[in-house]
A and B are shown apart, each in its own frame.
Chain A
Amino acid sequence: MSQAGYMNNYLLRSSGVLLFLTLWETAPRLAWLDPYFVPPLSVVVAEIGLLLGTGDLPIHLLVSSWRGVTGLFLALLIALPLGVILGRWLTGLADALDPLLRVLSQVNPFALLPLFLLFFGIGETAKVAVVTWVTLWPILFYTITATRTVDPLQIKSAAALGVTRSQMLCKVILPAAVPTIFIGIRIGASLTFFILIAAEMLGAGSGLGWLVHNSAMNYLIPRIYAGATFIILLGFLLNRFLLYLEKSLFAWQEYPASWTTAGEIRPYVWRPGKGAAIAGAATLSVILILGACEVRKLNQEAMAGAGGSSGHAKHFGTPVESGSGGF
Chain B
Amino acid sequence: MPTRNIVSPWSLSRWLDRSSILLFFAVWEVAPRCGGLLETFIAPPSVVLITLWELLLSGELYGHVAISLGRAISGFTGAALIALPLGFLLGGNFTTFERIVTPVLRFLGQVNPFSLFPLFILIFGISELSKDAMIFWVCIWPILFNTITGVKGIDPLLVKSARSMGTRLLPLFFNVILPAASPGIFTGLKMGAGSAFFMLIAAEMIGASRGLGWLVWNAQINFQIPKLFAATVVISVLGMILNTLLVTVERHLLGWRDSSPHH
Contacts and interface: CB of A to CB of B under 8 A. Distances in A.
Interface of A: 9, 12-17, 19-20, 37, 96-100, 103, 106-108, 110-115, 117-119, 193-194, 197-198, 201-202, 209, 212-213, 215-216, 221, 224-225, 227-228, 231-232, 235-236, 239, 259-260, 262, 323-327
Interface in B1-24: 17-21, 23-24
B19 A96 contact: yes
Given A103-B240, A111-B236, A232-B112, 4 more contacts: A99-B21, A110-B205, A216-B121, A326-B218
B88 interface: no
Contacts of A114: 205, 216-217, 219-220, 228, 232
Nearest to B110: A236
Contacts of A100: 20-21, 23-24
B21 A103 contact: yes
A317 to B, nearest CB: 15
Given A16-B102, A114-B219, A326-B214, A235 B107 contact: no
A326 B207 contact: yes
B59 interface: no
Number of contact residues on B: which range applies? 35 or more
A224 B114 CA distance: 12
Contacts of A15: 100
16 contacts: A12-B96, A16-B104, A17-B103, A99-B21, A103-B236, A111-B216, A111-B231, A115-B228, A198-B206, A202-B205, A216-B118, A228-B115, A232-B112, A259-B149, A326-B214, A326-B218
Contacts of B145: 259
Contacts of B142: 259
Given A16-B102, A110-B198, A202-B206, A325 B217 contact: yes
Given A17-B107, A111-B232, A119-B41, A213 B17 contact: no
Interface in B149-179: 149
Contacts of B126: 327
Closest 5 CB pairs of A and B: A114-B220, A216-B118, A259-B145, A100-B20, A228-B115
Contact of B17 (A99, A115, A260): A99
